[in-house]
């Protein structure tokens, strides 16, 4: 009689994977890897994706301000943000900006103007006169987007405050709340975040006060409820969640300039010829709209004044743009 002694490494019949399960091994593997990937690494896709339909629609008139390139998808522009008040990671704002309380919202106006005071957002922005402008957005980190903002021209709003003849500059401040903005625990930058423009820059038709994007109210990570958009300057000039506006006689402080004056000047005009000390500004990575390998590597040459030279170059006539970077 043959007595089969199983070797020690042999599996018991009960331990053998059933053929049906074996045939589904790819599903298990995929599910396992998906679970592992989800658990192991915190990531952008994990952050509760800001669903477009969760944001109230805004009626806005179409304008001629448009760009001859496809729009950056909603998902990309709401998941990839620099908003250091919520952390220095690109996905931090999408994860944490929901803590920001945007209602009610007031803006305090001070300095060299006749109509200073504190204004409710609704008194500042005429929601019946909203327009849509598609602008290029060029980050100093050499990436770019094309974004359909909804809002009103900055100039019209500033004029309401009747700035006086001493008002040569205008400074903006972001809200600063330790409780609502976890990233401000660290002195990454000088808080509250501040930015500024020369008055003639601010009164140019291009600067825009956005309250929405893609025909919806702004998501918090994009600077809700009120943000500046200055399309010919690097992105950090387009200050988010504005709570205070100050007209000044002298050039105001700006957070990035205070952090590193050699790298970030007051003007910060997009200029492919003037390098950032640590990287070239000659070209930029295009975020979205392509996916796959082509999307990952997509680049375009950076344009002088981000392509808005016709409208703004005259503001800097006779200035050395390398010195006044």
Partner 1 sequence: MVPKSISLTHLKAIFFLALSLPALWLGWQWVLLLGAHPHNLGVNPVEMTNRFLGDTALRVLLITLAITPLRDLTGYAPLSRLRRMAGLFAFFYVCLHLTSYLGLDLFFNLAKLWKDIVKRTYITLGMSAFALLVPLALTSTRGALQRLGPRRWARLHSLIYPAAILAVVHHVFMAKGFQIMPLVHGAILFFLLGWRLVKWQRKNAAQKGNRISNNS
- Measured CA to CA in angstroms, residue 223 lies from 35, 63, 90, 238, 252 at distances of 33, 22, 14, 9, 21
Q: Residue 121: helix, strand or coil by DSSP?
A: helix
> Binding of partner 1 at residue 7 (CB under 8 A)?
no
Contact string 60-79 vs partner 1 (x = CB under 8 A): ---------------xx--x
What distance in Å separates the CA atoms of residue 244 and residue 161, rounded to the nearest whole number? 13
Among 17, 259, 314, 324, binds partner 1 (CB under 8 A): 259
**Which of 235, 242, 154 is CA-nearest to residue 198?**
154
CB nearer to partner 1: pick between 132 and 284: 284
Buried b (16+ CB within 10 A) or exposed e, 281-290: beebebbbee
Smallest separation (angstroms) from partner 1 to the CB of 175 = 18
Check if the beta carbon of residue 188 is closer than 8 Å to that of residue 26: no
- Measured CA to CA in angstroms, residue 106 lies from 10, 123, 255 at distances of 74, 9, 22
CB nearer to partner 1: pick between 6 and 292: 292
> Binding of partner 1 at residue 285 (CB under 8 A)?
yes
CB nearer to partner 1: pick between 35 and 120: 35
Among 2, 3, 11, 40, binds partner 1 (CB under 8 A): 40
CB nearer to partner 1: pick between 72 and 220: 72
> Binding of partner 1 at residue 293 (CB under 8 A)?
yes
Residues between 211 and 250 that touch partner 1 (CB under 8 A): none
Half-sphere exposure (CA, 13 Å, Cβ side) for 234? 25
Smallest separation (angstroms) from partner 1 to the CB of 43 = 4
> Binding of partner 1 at residue 11 (CB under 8 A)?
no
Smallest separation (angstroms) from partner 1 to the CB of 52 = 16
Check if the beta carbon of residue 111 is closer than 8 Å to that of residue 167: yes
CB nearer to partner 1: pick between 264 and 266: 264
> Binding of partner 1 at residue 52 (CB under 8 A)?
no
Is the torsion defined by CA of 81, 268, 192, 163 positive or negative? negative
- Measured CA to CA in angstroms, residue 40 lies from 34, 36, 43, 59, 98 at distances of 10, 6, 9, 42, 24
Among 66, 67, 71, 90, binds partner 1 (CB under 8 A): 90
Check if the beta carbon of residue 50 is closer than 8 Å to that of residue 79: yes
CB nearer to partner 1: pick between 3 and 41: 41
CB nearer to partner 1: pick between 170 and 194: 194
Among 36, 57, 117, 205, binds partner 1 (CB under 8 A): 36
User: Cβ neighbours of residue 8 under 8 Å, at least 6 residues apart?
Assistant: none
> Binding of partner 1 at residue 92 (CB under 8 A)?
no
Residue ranges that bind partner 1, judged by CB under 8 A: 33, 36-37, 40-41, 43-46, 75-76, 79-80, 84, 88, 90-91, 141, 143, 186-189, 256, 259-260, 277-279, 285, 287-288, 291-293, 296-297
């Amino acid at each position: 009689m043959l007595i089969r002694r199983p070797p020690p490494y042999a599996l018991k019949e009960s331990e053998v994977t059933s053929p049906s399960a074996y045939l589904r091994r790819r599903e298990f593997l995929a599910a396992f890897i998906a679970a592992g990937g989800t658990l192991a690494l915190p990531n952008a896709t994990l952050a509760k994706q800001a669903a477009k339909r969760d944001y109230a629609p805004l009626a806005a008139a179409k304008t001629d301000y448009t760009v001859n390139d496809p729009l950056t998808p909603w998902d990309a522009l709401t998941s990839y943000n620099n908003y250091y008040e919520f952390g220095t990671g690109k996905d931090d704002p999408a994860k944490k900006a929901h803590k920001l309380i945007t209602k009610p919202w007031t803006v305090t106006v001070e300095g060299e103007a006749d109509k200073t005071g504190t204004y409710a957002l609704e008194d500042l922005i005429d929601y019946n006169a909203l327009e849509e402008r598609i602008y290029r957005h060029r980050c100093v980190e050499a990436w770019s987007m094309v974004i359909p903002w909804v809002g009103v021209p900055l100039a019209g709003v500033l004029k309401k405050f009747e700035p006086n003849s001493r008002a040569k500059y205008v400074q903006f401040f972001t809200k600063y709340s330790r409780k609502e903005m976890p990233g401000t625990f660290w002195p990454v930058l000088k808080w509250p975040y501040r930015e500024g423009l020369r008055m003639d820059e601010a009164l140019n038709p291009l600067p825009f006060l956005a309250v929405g994007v893609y025909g919806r109210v702004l998501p918090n990570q994009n600077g809700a409820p009120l943000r500046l958009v200055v399309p010919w300057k690097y992105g950090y000039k387009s200050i988010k969640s504005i709570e205070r506006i100050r007209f000044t006689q002298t050039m105001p402080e700006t957070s990035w300039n205070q952090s590193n004056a050699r790298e970030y000047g007051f003007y910060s005009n997009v200029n492919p010829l003037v390098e950032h000390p640590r990287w070239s500004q000659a070209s930029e990575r295009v975020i979205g709209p392509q996916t796959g390998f082509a999307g990952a590597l997509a680049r375009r040459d950076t344009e002088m004044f981000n392509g808005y030279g016709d409208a703004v170059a005259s503001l800097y006539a006779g200035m050395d743009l390398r010195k006044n970077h």
